[in-house]
Amino acid sequence: MQTVFSVGTDALAYGMVLFVISIGLSVTMGLMRVVNLAHGAFAMIGGYIASYAAHMLGFGYAVAILLAVAGTILISIPIERFLFRRIYGAPELTQVLMTIGITFCVIGIANYVFGPTLKTIPLPDMLRGPVDLGYRSIAAHKLFAIACGVVVAGALWFLIDRTAFGVKLRASVDNAAMAGSLGVRTRIVYAVSSAVAVGLAAFGGIVGAELLPIEPYYALRYMVTFLVVVSVGGAGSIPGALLACLVLGAIDTTGRYLVPEYGEFFFYLAVITIVCLFPNGLLGRKR
Amino acid sequence: MAAEQTISPASKATSGPNWLLRDLAGLAVILVLAGIGYLLFPNNLALLTRITAIALLVLSLDLVTGYCGIATLGHAALFGAGAYAAGIAAAHFGITDPIIMVVIGAIGGAAAGLLAGAIMLRGHGLAQLVLSIAIVYLFHETANKASGWTGGSDGLAGISPDPVFGLFGFDLWGRTAYVFGIVLLVLVFLLLRVLVRSPFGMLCRGIKEDPVRVSAMGASVNATLLRMYVISGAVAGVGGALNAISTQVVGLDSLSFTTSAEALVMLVLGGTGSLYGGLIGTLVFMWFEDFVSSINPFHWLTIVGALLIAVVLFAPSGLYGTAVQLLQRIRDKR
């Protein structure tokens, strides 16, 4: 029972961190049809800025998060403007190469600036130590990660399902040309949603820093994981991404607890099975 | 009937010598470069042999990516399968004749190609890419777990190939391994030139351009692609076997995502869909890597990244493709 509970909470926390980071990727991939392997790099940049702000500048956790999210979005604007915009609508091979190139550059630069060591983001006292749930206790930062995931999912649902911007976003995902001719300024929709996507990646990178530690190879190590989540869930689908994160998080964590010597074998086996059965993702729409 | 017979040799005669000449010229360039490498770097033949082995991997990747239009980030699975097949045959079953090891490597690679192709052709676009990544990770984890057979993360050691034809032993300086590798590369290259010019190769190009139209013409798209995947697997397997023979050890890195991604980078750097591009890309990339990473491995990553971005932005057809276009333009001006 103890094992089941700890596997369950770990899986939930891991899945939620995955969700916060990759949901932006899912939305932008549904919107702009770009196979983006550089998304993890933005999560890593967020983590680095937060770590720097907390350690070197002495800011608190909340301020560090805000600074990191804003800083990452700032960094992403020229990258989006000069590099990404050229590969919208290009063949997949081109998109893969361009985004791998960006990832490699970010890794190299991060290592040059911050060194190859693992970076920590000091947690506030509130998030340290266990929280007593009455009959079991759970690490506070995991609870925080789960709460963040729930809040992000809820906020995104509200944004996309209930606001005027959400209507435009959904229209652009379905048919960008038609939405444009009906007066939706798709360029602004694109710009806002990529900024939100990058910001969420940075946020997820900071919140999940205890589970996915920040180091230069972060972007390469989890690059595939984020892409897999989007593919399994279906690009552009928020419930799909949530489902994919929970399922893959559960499989990965259970595998690590019960049969650690198999590594990520079951994770990738599950990915192959799901993608073979649902080529458009669990909840993705047919194209 | 008679008219047809007179026409077809004539049309062949006009187009024939041209490609034959070009292939012979390409062959001559490979041999001359191999000779120069041998004379200039007699102490670094191990690197040159590794370049040869990776060149086979990149050629095999060109078959599926350049000729069939399948983007894959998992092609090292086939390379590693060939390497482990040859290595296990030598270490566990005592099959140490290098030529038989190469054949076993080719069969192992082809089997892996059949499996990977059958899985990958189920998806398109993003799904296909993710499947290719998942396959190479799955192979990697399997090889890691089956350490009784593969040596796990320590690598598979204990491969000691016999002399080639019983005459040329594998020496400490790697001279035999180098010559063996170059001969393999030349043979494979010539076979592939014939293959891509065959009706089958043309069919693959047609599928790359427009799969719907090819299937409307009555050809089976998936069966053709799967066949190409198996051929590609055999070529990659030969490369893997060559690597196992020359280094006498097989490591998990031969099955890694990084190797797959690097192979794709080399191919695109050189140019897809010509076989020459793959060779040029491999040579430039690996020589450059050896040069820069001896200074600082992280600078190497930054440079590769910048190089990739530059190739995508300014030379989308790769080094070879861009050179051909330049020559064409100069010729047109005259």
- Report d(CA A231, CA A239) in Å as an integer: 13
A111 contacts chain B (CB < 8 A): yes
**Chain-chain contact of B301 with A107 (C-beta, under 8 angstroms):** yes
In tens, the pLDDT along B142-158 reads 998 888 888 878 888 88
What mean pLDDT is reported for chain B? 87
Least confident of A65-69, A70-74, A276-280, B165-169: B165-169
B229 CB burial (10 A radius; 0-12, 13-18, 19+): buried
- Is A229 contained in some domain? no
% of chain A beyond a pLDDT of 70: 98
pLDDT tens string A150-199: 999 999 989 988 899 989 988 888 888 898 899 888 888 888 888 999 99
For the cut 60, the answer to whether the pLDDT of residue B89 exceeds it is yes
Determine the pLDDT at residue A72. Answer: 94
Quickly state the pLDDT bin for B273 (edges 50, 70, 90).
confident
A202 token code pair: 């940075």
Number of domains in chain A: 1
What is the nearest CA distance from A117 to chain B, expressed in angstroms?
13
Chain B: give the shortest CA distance to residue A214, in Å: 17
Task: Choose the mutation target among A276, A285, A287 for the interface with B, i.e. most B CBs under 10 Å.
Answer: A276
pLDDT-derived band at B11 (thresholds 50, 70, 90) equals: very low
Q: Above 80 in pLDDT, residue B323?
A: yes
A280 touches chain B (CB under 8 A): yes
Q: Which of A268, A269, A278 to probe the B interface (max B CBs under 10 A)?
A: A268
A positions 217-246 inside 8 Å of B (CB): 220, 224, 227-228, 230-232, 235
Chain A nearest-CA distance from B293, in A, is: 12
The count of other CB atoms within 10 Å of the CB of residue A1 is 6
Q: Tell me the chain A residues in contact with residue B142 when contact means C-beta distances shorter than 8 Å.
A: 265
Q: Which of A81, A83, A86, A231 to mutate to test the interface with B (most CBs of B within 10 A)?
A: A231
Please, which residues have CB within 8 angstroms of residue B206's CB and are 6 or more apart in sequence? B213, B214, B219
**What's the confidence (pLDDT) of residue B6?**
39
C-alpha A36/C-alpha A242 separation (Å) is 19
The pLDDT confidence band at residue A47, using thresholds 50, 70 and 90, is very high
Q: Do the Cβ atoms of A279 and B123 come within 8 Å?
A: yes
- pLDDT at residue B181, as a whole number: 93
In the predicted model, is pLDDT for residue B3 greater than 50? no
**Lowest-pLDDT choice from A245-254, A277-286, B125-134, B274-283:** A277-286
Q: How confident is the model at residue B263 (pLDDT cuts 50, 70, 90)?
A: very high
Q: Do B308 and A231 touch (CB under 8 A)?
A: no
Q: How far apart are CA B275 and CA A180, in angstroms?
A: 43
* Partners of B250 in beta bridges: B156
pLDDT for position A285:
67
- Domain borders along chain B are 21-255
Partner A contacted by B119 (CB < 8 A): yes
Average pLDDT over residues B46-56: 92
Residue A202, pLDDT above cutoff 90: yes
Give mean pLDDT, residues B239-254. 91
* A138, containing H or E segment: strand A137-139
Answer yes or no: is A12 within a domain: no
Model pLDDT, residue A205: 92
Q: pLDDT at residue A255 above 90?
A: no
Q: Is A130 an 8 Å CB contact of chain B?
A: no
The answer to whether the beta carbons of residues A32 and A90 sit under 8 Å apart is no
Cβ atoms of residues A236 and A224 within 8 Å:
no
Of all residues in chain A, the one with the smallest CA distance to B121 is A276
Tokens of A137: 């206790």
Q: What is the pLDDT of residue B2?
A: 40
What number is the average pLDDT over the span B66-95? Answer: 92
A286 φ, ψ to 5°? -70, 140
Domain membership of residue A199 as a residue range: 23-219
Q: Tell me, what's the pLDDT at B17?
A: 59
Which residue from B minimizes the CA distance to A86? B313
Q: Is a pLDDT exceeding 90 seen at residue B170?
A: no
Q: Which of A190-194, A267-271, B54-58, B315-319 has the highest mean pLDDT?
A: B54-58
Among A91, A109, A276, whose Cβ lies nearest the Cβ of B119? A276
Residue A32: inside a domain = yes
- The pLDDT of residue B162 is 80
Check B134 against A230: CB less than 8 A apart.
Answer: no
Average confidence (pLDDT) over B126-134: 90
Distance from CA of B161 to the nearest CA of A (A): 32
Nearest to A105 among B133, B141, B302 (CB): B302
Task: Flag whether A174 is in a domain.
Answer: yes
* pLDDT value of position B1: 37
Nearest CA in chain B to A234: B127
CB within 8 Å: B134 and A109: no
Q: Give the residue, A129 or A87, on which the prediction is more confident.
A: A87
- Over 70: is that where the pLDDT of B4 sits? no
Lookup: tokens for B287: 């020589």
Give CA–CA dist A223/A220, Å, rounded. Answer: 5
CB pairs under 8 A between A and B: 138
pLDDT in tens, A117-159: 888 888 888 778 787 776 777 888 888 999 999 999 999 989 9
CB–CB of B246/B46 below 8 Å? yes
- Determine the pLDDT at residue B21: 82
